Structure 1
Amino acid sequence: MAHAPQMRIPATYMRGGTSKGVFFRLQDLPPAAQVPGEARDRLFMRVIGSPDPYGKHTDGMGGATSSTSKCVILSRSERAEHDVEYLYGQVSIDTAFVDWSGNCGNLSTAAGAFAIHAGLVDPARIPRDGTCSVRIWQANIGKTIIAHVPVSDGAVQETGDFELDGVTFPAAEIVLEFLDPADEGEGEGGGSMFPTGKLVDDLDVPGVGVLRATLINAGIPTVFINAKDVGFKGTELQDAINGHPETLAMFESIRAQGAIRMGLIESAEQAAKRQHTPKVAFVAKPADYLSSSGKTVHAEEVDLLVRALSMGKLHHAMMGTAAVAIATAASVPGTLVNLAAGGGDRSEVVFGHPSGTLRVGAEARQVDGNWTVLKASMSRSARILMEGWVRVPGEGL
């Protein structure tokens, strides 16, 4: 029986922040995958190695975690004051599904660097030495991101001494600015980044009870709850959560009810088809704990503790988009995030996560009774791990 040969597609494997993904230029994809639809989804699942009932991604480029099951498409932008269009797909590990409902903040870092690497930025905008401010249109959520990428001798500088908790080795620092990161379209409070119009809601979760929650659309839709309300301290590492199916089921129920209240889905059953958003995170006041790297994080080093789940599992560090949500919520007096950080007016916070700490900032203000955020910022790093071609079997693609 004859079989079609493997397809060979130009691709770059990159780390961005605490995530990894396979990056493509739109023009390099097979014609059927250059437009949204089933062919693109099938291609990305096959590249990553999903769906994989073994949960290993042995036959693909994925790493069988939410942080490493990602694909990115970049192309030149025709929008004024933008260099590139960036589209992100979160590939499910064990089901045949690609979630396009949100952004990856960590890979936004790599998107800026890749745009230069791939020749998608006007050479006139790239200095010989210095910083290139890559203007990115994030197509999933319709927002602008500015990646300030260091350049040396006309090329992206990838090496450096910037250390990022959750990443083993130092690299060059890339500063990200998320402009107007709030999504002000959906929900009961339409026109507000707090979709119900409240800073704190009572969320009735079947099997759990009524929980206080801050529901926010900034960076990525996020449901924040207090750690103590679900029996945790905010110092937990992955094994304390991910090894307990009943705990993961509880958090998924919370996420589903939050999604309904935020107007993202109509029923809890629909949450399975919207795995990437919203995120659910729990917060607590500062405390000492031992991070996953073995380093002690002292209470006096942080303003609060945050743990977040992504694609049904506790994240090993923090998603970049969730960090934007943390920064934004912390800057609004009265949210659960702000209260965990000590309350009051704040333009930045340092929070503790399973791998260490992260400093994030946001500029928020109240206009006509509604809160809005002008921008959020953080520092990450990125580098190319491998470049060339990715090969996938041609059948069905």
Structure 2
Amino acid sequence: MTYTPQIKIPAVYMRGGTSKGVFFRLQDLPAAAQVPGAARDRLLLRVIGSPDPYAKQIDGMGGATSSTSKAVIVAASTRPDHDVDYLFGQVAIDKPFVDWSGNCGNLSAAVGPYAIANGFIDPARIPRDGVATVRIWQANIGKTIVAHVPMRGGEVQETGDFELDGVTFPAAEVRLEFMDPAADEEGGGGAMFPTGNPVDQLDVPGVGTLSATMINAGIPTIFVNAEDIGYRGDELQDAINGDPKALAMFEAIRAHGAVRMGLIAHPEEAARRQHTPKVAFVAPPAAYTASSGRRVAREDIDVLVRALSMGKLHHAMMGTAAVAIGTAAAIPGTLVSLAAGDQARPGDAVRFGHPSGTLRVGAEARREGDDWIVTKAVMSRSARVLMEGWVRVPGDAF
């Protein structure tokens, strides 16, 4: 009996924001995986350790959560005025597919540092000390992200005193600007509000008719009121993820919302599109205890938000969903704005409470006639290299 030996592929394992994933340079991938298709998907599934019926990803680099089952491919950009193209793959844990339908806002924070460290940026543009600017083309959704990366002694600064709720240790701050975050190119219908309304009535069989804000900003997101689905808005993961009926309800909301947003034609198609849209529930500000045990005071936040990713309540907040929250908070009449007191913040930041603590995100918005235009959303994250070298996979895995 013959056996296929393993091959090794250069890779970097990085944390970005409250996520982590395996980063590759496009040119380092095997030839068959350098183009989109089944070979690339099979390779990344094997790298991460999916599909795993045990849902542990023991035989791979994944961490068995939506926040840690991720892969990134970076290439020199072919777009004018951009440095790199960034492609994100959300790898399913127990199913054999990779979802390419959206971005990861958290890992976006690691793309700039990765690009600098791996030779994608002209050294003449990188200060020895100061802040390097990296213009990123987010290839999944066709948007620009500008990363401001701190430099010390000619290298990316990774340690520092910037604290991010949901991340254990402080690190250096990476500021991100998500340019023109609304109306993504991938099935969003070219509109911030695909239905044309800041709030709609969404009929969900078995659940009822819910008020919903469905928005394309950062990532397609469906917001509902916590009270309308029997929650307070201060719940932690165990309250949702240990309740199969609750998870089924949220998936039904997500599937029927996706149809209303024009992302899919039938609710059944949502099972093959787990990464988008996101579903989140909001409530007015209130004091609560975060998952770390820290008490969050009512006056520390403007609104409570909880969001689900890949069928589970997220332990903190997805970066792209944070963009959606900041954008919706800047526009009067959305459920996010209403929960925050319906005080539009076209030039200010909103601080929201999530299971791990708080996060501040701002959106620059202006009104043009009856429409709102959001030019960019801004937030700070951090990033750090955890390990670098090679990942190994069986040579016949793809």
Cα distance, 1:201–1:9 mapped onto 2, change above 3 Å: same
Q: State how far apart, in whole Å, the 1-side matches of 2:184 and 2:292 are.
A: 38
Q: Report SS of the residue matched to 2:211.
A: strand
SS at match of 1:381: strand
State the shift of 1:396 in Å.
Answer: 3.9
- CA–CA distance in structure 1, aligned partners of residues 306 and 109 of structure 2: 21
Give the Cα separation in 2 of the matches to 1:360 and 1:225. 20
Q: Please say if 1:166 is aligned against 2:166.
A: yes
Deviation of the 1:365 alpha carbon: 1.8
Distance 2:157 2:240 in 1: 37
1:1-397 equivalences under 5 Å are 1-183=1-183, 190-346=189-345, 347-397=348-398
Contact 1:186 1:263 in 2 (8 A): no
Conserved in 1, the CA contact under 8 Å of 2:220 and 2:277? yes
CA distance in structure 2 between the aligned counterparts of 1:272 and 1:365, rounded to whole angstroms: 36
SS in 1 for 2:316: coil
- The answer (yes or no) to whether the contact 2:184–2:216 under 8 Å persists in 1 is yes
The one-letter code matched in structure 1 to 2:329 is A
Check conservation: 2:149, 2:175, Cα contact below 8 A.
yes
Q: How does the TM-score come out when normalised to structure 2?
A: 0.98
Query: What is the identity, as a one-letter code, of the residue corresponding to 1:212?
Result: S
* Identity percentage of aligned residues: 73
Tell me the TM-score normalised to structure 1 length: 0.98
Partner Cα distance (2:187, 2:220) in 1 = 11
C-alpha change, 1:186 and 1:77, in structure 2 (3 Å) is closer
Counterparts of 2:248 and 2:365 in 1: how far apart (Å)?
A: 34
Deviations 1:291-347 (A, max 9, x none): 000000011100000000000000000000000000000000110000111112212
User: Given that residues 158 and 384 in structure 2 are in contact (C-alpha distance below 8 angstroms), is that contact kept between their aligned partners in structure 1?
Assistant: yes
Report how far residue 366 of structure 1 moved: 2.3
**Contact residue 200 and residue 212 of structure 2 kept, 8 A:** yes
Q: CA deviation at 1:368?
A: 3.5
CA distance in 2: counterparts of 1:74 and 1:186, whole angstroms: 19
Are residues 205 and 383 of structure 1, via their aligned partners in 2, closer, same or farther at CA, if it must alter by over 3 Å?
same
User: Quick one: structure 1 residues 35 and 191, their matched pair in 2 at CA, closer, same or farther if it must change by over 3 Å?
Assistant: closer
Per-residue deviation at 1:185? 5.7
Gaps of 5+ in 1: none
Is the contact between residue 143 and residue 184 of structure 2 (CA under 8 Å) also seen in structure 1? no
On the 8 A contact 1:181/1:374 being kept in 2, the answer is yes
Q: Distance in 1 between matches of 2:239 and 2:107?
A: 27
**Separation in structure 2 between the aligned mates of residue 97 and residue 279 of structure 1, nearest angstrom:** 18
- Find the aligned partners of 2:338 and 2:264 in 1 and give their Cα distance: 28
Q: In 2, are the aligned partners of 1:112 and 1:149 still within 8 Å (CA)?
A: yes
Query: For residue 370 of structure 1, what is the amino acid of its counterpart?
Result: D
Q: AA paired with 1:336?
A: L
- Amino acid corresponding to residue 163 of structure 2 in structure 1: E
Q: How far, CA to CA, are the matches of 1:119 and 1:396 in structure 2?
A: 29
CA separation in 1, counterparts of 2:331 and 2:187? Answer: 19
**Alpha-carbon distance between aligned partners in 1 of 2:313 and 2:344, rounded to the nearest angstrom:** 29
Instruction: Quote the Cα distance in structure 2 between the aligned partners of 1:354 and 1:394.
Output: 41
Residues 142 and 184 in structure 2, CA contact (< 8 A), matched pair in contact too = no
Per-residue Cα deviation, 1:335-378 (whole angstroms, up to 9, x for no partner): 00001111122121000000000000001122242222100000
Equivalent residue letter for 2:382: S
Deviation of 1:380 after TM superposition, in Å, equals: 0.3
Q: Secondary structure at the match of 1:10?
A: strand
| CA distance in 1: counterparts of 2:46 and 2:98, whole angstroms | 11
Q: Counterparts of 2:106 and 2:241 in 1: how far apart (Å)?
A: 22
Q: 1:69 touches 1:92 (CA, 8 Å); kept in 2?
A: yes
Equivalent pairs counted in the alignment come to: 396
Q: Could you tell me how far apart the structure 2 residues matched to 1:150 and 1:9 are?
A: 28
For 2:343 and 2:389, locate their aligned partners in 1 and report how far apart those are by CA, in whole Å. 50
2:226 and 2:323 map into 1 onto residues whose CA distance is: 19
Note if contact 1:187-1:195 (Cα within 8 Å) is conserved in structure 2: no
Q: Secondary structure at the match of 2:224?
A: strand
In 2, the alpha carbon distance for the partners of 1:40 and 1:26 equals 11
* Counterpart residue type for residue 377 of structure 2: A
Q: CA RMSD in A?
A: 1.1
Q: For 2:170 and 2:24, how far apart are their aligned partners in 1?
A: 25
